[in-house]
Structure 1
């Protein structure tokens, strides 16, 4: 935000764009409405540069809200003209609109002026500029997140349906929705008992049923079945507990649900394979795989949500971006309870939380940290609080491993040995080296 630049606030929309050119005292120098798409804003930027130069400024800083994909198009147009661009959070614009005159008044020209005003107050940020490979990883991560939601919804719906008409099937496995053998067995049953008649499955015989489940198992990402679970599902077909009168329609619907679930599982497997291929392109597979307990896919999901970690100057900045940093509550003699800020990216927070579940038990450093946080005398944390702290620790590790291009070291991670200052060859550019990586 150089003082020699005027500020061009643009309220992006589908077909009608509003622009306001202001100085650093929020005085409006010019306004313009344009009926065009976002990728047709080039003439508006050229007009803004001419108006700024006529007012004594050397150039223009472009500002907008980072909503949808239109800001990326505007960033490209600004970069082609050598103009700086920043983004303003939509929540700040909403708050500024409310504080303007304490009403709900809203218009596109007014929002454009508010965006420019927030920019002059430095309440803005520089948007992420990623290359094609990192952008592809982000898109694949977003699709995988949606497929995970659909998969969870299908599993829960199947559980609800079977609890009504065939509860014995849910007793065949301790965690039925997580068992590939159980899912394959239920798929075979529902494919042959679409009319609600489970006796048709009984007439198959146990041997044919087990063979059919073996053929179905590959669709659920497994090659070996648990015979105990498969036989328990077959035995449950003789059970008459539940709303037997409703079995026909309910099992028919359950057959549709498990078919959708199988299809979602196949699409998710394809997306995950592509994500691992992107990590190979970035030459990060071996580095992130060096962290015990963290799967390469889990690390890929985290990196898909945060983008290139090199854009964060320190590991702490990445933790703050995820909203896993503590929020202080103190004033004078008062010392309140510190909680997570929760103001970061919720999808990144979720991905880090999921990756921590397995790593907490398999990683010795993370396991020791969790035990210390839950057993220390002063400021002892609850189990979930300690798990959130471990998730923040995992984000710090990933930042250092990816940015510095060094494998994970347990002594460095535990703070027993300082990290060398020299950056390894081929390291990412844009982040200063950390002298010490501490589990704290």
Structure 2
């Protein structure tokens, strides 16, 4: 919002602290937009070396970049709305999102990678699809390390890893399971 209203440091220095704070509030920013924050912005604008030549083109380039950002942000919101609508039609998506720590993007990504969950008879099938099944690296009398096979979908494996991190942080059942599996 500051880049839209005050694209250059010289535009910040033209305003007073109270004018900056009131413009923040007028543009819908409610938290952390007091006079002290405006004072910090003015101090940073006065201390910056900034550009002094080509200000017209710098302002135009900022407007172009901000326009692209606004367009991408609107497209992202539109995509998320479409995903929400489609996720409501998929059986099992609402139950997945009811688990604390699982959001819309995680549930949609899982369904996109796995498909219909009812077509699997056992959870180990999904585990194998992701390449998370265990294999032992041994030959003859040599007994090697046991590790995951990684013979599966790498995107699904990465999605499951990224979804487990917040699950461990937010879900007590998963915290207990994680603690149990990590203790020797």
User: What TM-score comes out, normalization by structure 1 length?
Assistant: 0.35
Q: 1:290 aligns with which of 62, 83, 98?
A: 98
Q: State the alpha-carbon separation in 2 of the partners of residues 215 and 324 from structure 1.
A: 52
Closer/same/farther in 2, CA of residues 205 and 285 from structure 1, 3 Å limit: farther
Structure number with higher helix proportion: 2
Q: State the alpha-carbon separation in 2 of the partners of residues 330 and 345 from structure 1.
A: 24
The residue that corresponds to 1:350 in the other structure is 158
Q: State the alpha-carbon separation in 1 of the partners of residues 100 and 15 from structure 2.
A: 46
Structure number with higher strand proportion: 1
> Could you say what the CA RMSD is over the residues aligned between the two structures, in angstroms?
3.3
Shift of the alpha carbon at 1:362?
Answer: 0.4
2:93 and 2:107 in contact (8 A); partners too: no
Show CA shifts across 1:342-375 (max 9, x none).
Answer: 332222223323322322200112222333333x
Q: State the alpha-carbon separation in 2 of the partners of residues 333 and 354 from structure 1.
A: 37
Q: State the alpha-carbon separation in 2 of the partners of residues 247 and 338 from structure 1.
A: 62
User: What TM-score comes out, normalization by structure 2 length?
Assistant: 0.74
The residue that corresponds to 1:226 in the other structure is 32
Closer/same/farther in 2, CA of residues 328 and 290 from structure 1, 3 Å limit: same
Shift of the alpha carbon at 1:340?
Answer: 3.2
Shift of the alpha carbon at 1:214?
Answer: 4.8
Q: 2:20 aligns with which of 209, 224, 236?
A: 209
Listed as ranges, the matches of 1:312-351 within 5 Å are 312-351=120-159
The residue that corresponds to 1:200 in the other structure is 11
Listed as ranges, the matches of 1:1-400 within 5 Å are 184-185=1-2, 187-188=3-4, 192-193=6-7, 197-214=8-25, 224-227=30-33, 231=38, 232-233=40-41, 235-240=43-48, 244=51, 253=61, 256-374=64-182, 376-377=183-184
Closer/same/farther in 2, CA of residues 287 and 251 from structure 1, 3 Å limit: same
Closer/same/farther in 2, CA of residues 343 and 269 from structure 1, 3 Å limit: farther
Show CA shifts across 1:376-430 (max 9, x none).
Answer: 23xxxxxxxxxxxxxxxxxxxxxxxxxxxxxxxxxxxxxxxxxxxxxxxxxxxxx
Closer/same/farther in 2, CA of residues 199 and 366 from structure 1, 3 Å limit: same
Closer/same/farther in 2, CA of residues 215 and 367 from structure 1, 3 Å limit: farther
Larger relative contact order (C-alpha < 8 A, sep ≥ 6)? 2
SS at match of 2:47: coil
Shift of the alpha carbon at 1:336?
Answer: 2.7
2:136 and 2:146 in contact (8 A); partners too: yes
Closer/same/farther in 2, CA of residues 297 and 251 from structure 1, 3 Å limit: same
SS at match of 1:334: coil
The residue that corresponds to 1:16 in the other structure is none
1:209 and 1:234 in contact (8 A); partners too: no
For structure 2, list consecutive stretches of 5 or more residues without a partner in the other structure.
none
Instruction: Please identify the structure whose Cα radius of gyration is greater.
Output: 1
2:101 and 2:167 in contact (8 A); partners too: yes
For structure 1, list consecutive stretches of 5 or more residues without a partner in the other structure.
1-183, 218-222, 378-440
